[in-house]
Chains A and B, each alone.
Chain A
Amino acid sequence: MWPPDLLKRNNTMKKYMGNKLAIFLFVLPALAIFLIFDFFPIIQVFAYSFTDWNGLTTPNFLGLKNYIDLFNDRVFYTSNRNQLIFAIVITVYQMLFATIFAITISDKKMKGRKFLRVAYFIPVILSVTVVCQLWSAILSGQGLLNKLFEAFGSDYTQNWLGDRYKAIYVIAFVNAWQWMGYQFALIVAGIKSIPADYYEAAKIDGCSNVKAHMKITIPLLAETYKFCLIISLTGGIKAFTEMNILTGGGPNKSTFTLTYMMYNAAFKKSDYGYGLASASIMVIECMLVMLVINFIFREKNQLKEEEKSKKRRLSYGN
Chain B
Amino acid sequence: MKKKILSSLLCATVAATTIIGCGQSAQETSESTTNATAEVSATEATSEEAKTEETTSSDSGEKVTLSIYTQYADDDTKVPYDYAVEQLKEAFPNVELNLIVQAQDDGQTLKTLAATGQLPDIYQASTDIINTFRESNQIMVLNDVAQSTGFLDKLYEANKDLAYAEDGNIYAFPFSGQEYVLWYYNKALFEENGLEIPQTYDDLKNCIEVFKSKGITPLALFGQEGWNTAAAYDVVATRYTEGGIKALDEGTASITDEAYASAAKTLEELVAAGLFQDSATTTNYDQASEMFLSGNAAMFINGQWYIEDATSALGENVDWMFYPAADEASYEAGKSVFSGGGSASGFAVNPDSENAELAAEVAEFITEKYCEAKVMYRHNPLVALDTGKEPDSEYPAMMKKLSDTLPTITATTKFTWGLTNSTFNDGIQSESQGLVSGQFTAEEFIADMTDIME
Contacts and interface: CB of A to CB of B under 8 A. Distances in A.
A282 interface: no
Given A142-B279, A252-B434, A164 B439 contact: yes
Interface string A242-256: 000011111111100
A256 B3 CA distance: 62
Nearest to B431: A252
B114 interface: yes
Interface in B119-177: 128, 132-133, 135-136, 138
Contacts of B108: 267
Interface string B269-300: 00000000111111100000000000000000
Grouping DSSP codes into helix (H, G, I), strand (E, B) and loop, the A interface class, with mixed when no group exceeds half, is loop
A311 to B, nearest CB: 43
B279 A251 contact: no
Interface stretch (A7-15, A49-57, A191-199, A289-297): A49-57
A161 interface: yes
Contacts of B430: 249-250, 252-253
A188 B204 CA distance: 61
B448 interface: yes
Contact of A162 (B106, B128, B278, B426): B278
A162 B422 contact: no
Contacts of A264: 426
Nearest to B445: A252
B105 interface: yes
Contacts of A267: 105-108, 111
A55 B113 CA distance: 11
B433 A268 contact: no
Contact of B282 (A74, A247, A269): A247
B111 A55 contact: yes
A140 interface: yes
Contacts of A285: none
B224 interface: yes
B437 A250 contact: yes
Contacts of B437: 162, 164, 250-252
B10 interface: no
Contact of A57 (B135, B435, B439, B451): B135
A268 B105 CA distance: 9
B422 A251 contact: no
A268 B422 contact: yes
Nearest to B436: A251
A253 B132 CA distance: 24
A267 B114 CA distance: 13
B440 interface: yes
A72 to B, nearest CB: 8
Nearest to A157: B278
A141 interface: yes
B281 A162 contact: yes
A48 B177 CA distance: 39
A269 B278 contact: no
A251 B433 contact: yes
A270 interface: yes
A271 B423 CA distance: 9
B422 A56 contact: no
A159 interface: yes
A91 B75 CA distance: 47
Contact of B426 (A161, A246, A269): A269
A54 B448 CA distance: 24
Contacts of A270: 111, 128, 132, 422
Nearest to A247: B282
Interface string B97-110: 00000000111100
B344 to A, nearest CB: 17
Contacts of A250: 223-224, 281-282, 430, 433-434, 437
A57 B136 CA distance: 5
A151 to B, nearest CB: 16
Nearest to A274: B423
B282 A162 contact: yes
A216 to B, nearest CB: 39
Nearest to A58: B136
A95 to B, nearest CB: 30
Contacts of A251: 223, 281, 433-434, 437, 439-440
B439 A56 contact: no
A246 B138 CA distance: 35
A141 B111 contact: no
B13 to A, nearest CB: 29
Contact of A140 (B282, B422, B434): B282
B115 interface: yes
A56 B138 contact: yes
Contact of B448 (A55, A74, A141, A161): A74
- Chain A CB count within 10 A is highest, among B279, B426, B431, for B279
B114 A56 contact: yes
A68 B6 CA distance: 71
A162 B437 CA distance: 7
Interface in B6-64: none
Contact of A268 (B224, B281, B426): B426
Contacts of B111: 55-56, 267, 270
Given A251-B433, A252-B433, A267-B108, A162 B280 contact: yes
Interface in A228-268: 246-254, 264, 267-268
B88 to A, nearest CB: 30
B281 A56 contact: no
Contacts of B128: 270
Contact of B283 (A54, A141, A164, A253): A141
Contacts of A56: 111, 114-115, 132-133, 135-136, 138
19 contacts: A55-B115, A55-B132, A56-B135, A74-B448, A140-B282, A159-B278, A161-B279, A162-B437, A247-B282, A250-B430, A250-B434, A251-B223, A252-B430, A252-B434, A253-B434, A254-B439, A268-B106, A269-B422, A271-B423
Given A253-B430, A267-B105, A270-B128, 19 more contacts: A55-B132, A56-B115, A56-B138, A57-B136, A74-B448, A74-B451, A141-B278, A161-B279, A161-B282, A250-B433, A250-B434, A251-B281, A251-B439, A251-B440, A252-B437, A252-B440, A254-B439, A268-B425, A268-B426
Interface of B: 105-108, 111, 114-115, 128, 132-133, 135-136, 138, 223-224, 277-283, 422-423, 425-426, 430-431, 433-435, 437, 439-440, 448, 451
In the A-B complex, list the 7 residue pairs whose CB atoms are closest, starting with the nearest: A141-B279, A252-B434, A56-B136, A251-B437, A251-B281, A267-B108, A269-B422
